[in-house]
Amino acid sequence: MKILNLPLSRSVVDRAAHVRTDPAALDAAWSKAKIIHFNGEGFLLENGALRYLSAQEIAGSGERIFLGEHAGDSYFMWCAALNIGAEDHYQTLRAIGHTLSDLDIGLAVHGQAIALWHHQTPLCSSCGSALVPAQGGATRKCVGEGHEHFPRTDPAIIVLIKDHSDRILLGRQKVWPEHRFSTFAGFVESGESIEQCVVREVFEEAGVAVDEINYLGSQPWPFPRSLMIACEATIVDPANARPDGEEIEEIRWFDRDSIYAAVQEGTLLLPPAMSVARAMIQAWYGDDRPELSTAETWRN
């Protein structure tokens, strides 16, 4: 299978790291920048796309985060809890991610991940002093001893399990809406390779042994700061498949006909359109078959 074109990996923005370290260049870029607004939960929209503000429209306290450059324009995000005006419309990235342009999705994913990291990292882990944004928001710096902190990214694998008959195995978590099934996933542990994590998670959650692993692509998942590493794993013992009973409460094997039938019957809800899981399932299913159309489902 070829490397997937994943929904949240569509950025066209040059992050322009050389601008971050030049305060004068940052100020000059801000004065004429296109600025998106994040209120801590959602993004300011206009006609279904990100609304771009000018520096002259920004007021009050908040943080400006440099996101990069594209086609001669500089882009920032203004992160503040207050709305710009009474008629403004905000939506979460979960709600709009699959509809945004390549430019907008790259800005939103980058911006949300950085903003949540800033919010969750107020103090220096070395000395306990306050941290303040530095390098255009790309880092945080300790006001006490000058320690520099960088954003944390948590790698996680997400696996499409297949047998040698080209069926796929989907699992259902207890916290999901009724009939919602998806692929299997888990965080990479300390000292563990991606391949080791795939083998471990597949066995822990589904009870089957991996025979072959293929890399499919990766996608940032800023909820709050994961990197989803997509793989398909062919297993040798499909008869041994069983849910772990803790995180996974039910598993089901599907071929292409049965997955379509289950969707049509309403006994199967698939992952959201902007998820890695949905992209992997769709790539396996194929684009030359009847559409797999289900409601957008998240956790309860």
The DSSP bridge partners found for residue 69 are 14, 74
Q: Is the pLDDT of residue 2 over 90?
A: no
Nearest-5° angle of CA 270, CA 225, CA 282?
A: 25
**Where do the domains of the chain lie, and which CATH numbers do they carry?**
7-120 (no CATH), 123-152 (no CATH), 154-285 (3.90.79.10)
- Report whether the peptide linkage leading into residue 290 is cis, meaning its omega lies within 30 degrees of zero: no
Element (H, E) at 108: helix 102-120
With cut-offs at 50, 70 and 90, classify the pLDDT of residue 223. Answer: very high
Q: Is the pLDDT of residue 66 over 60?
A: yes
Render pLDDT for 138-191 as a digit per residue (tens, 0 to 9): 999 999 999 999 999 999 999 999 999 999 999 999 989 999 999 999 999 999
- Low-confidence winner among 130-139, 147-156, 290-299 (lowest mean pLDDT): 290-299
Residues 6+ apart with CB under 8 A from 259: 168, 268, 281, 285, 292
Cβ-count burial 266-295 (b if 16+ within 10 Å, e if not): eebbbbbebbbbbbbbbbbbeeeeeebebe
- Check residue 188 and report its DSSP letter: P
72-79: average pLDDT: 97
Q: Is the pLDDT of residue 300 over 60?
A: no
- Give the span between the Cα atoms of 42 and 63, in whole angstroms: 15
Render pLDDT for 228-253 as a digit per residue (tens, 0 to 9): 999 999 999 999 999 999 999 999 99
Q: Is the pLDDT of residue 293 over 50?
A: yes
Q: Is the pLDDT of residue 215 over 70?
A: yes
Q: What is the pLDDT of residue 1?
A: 57
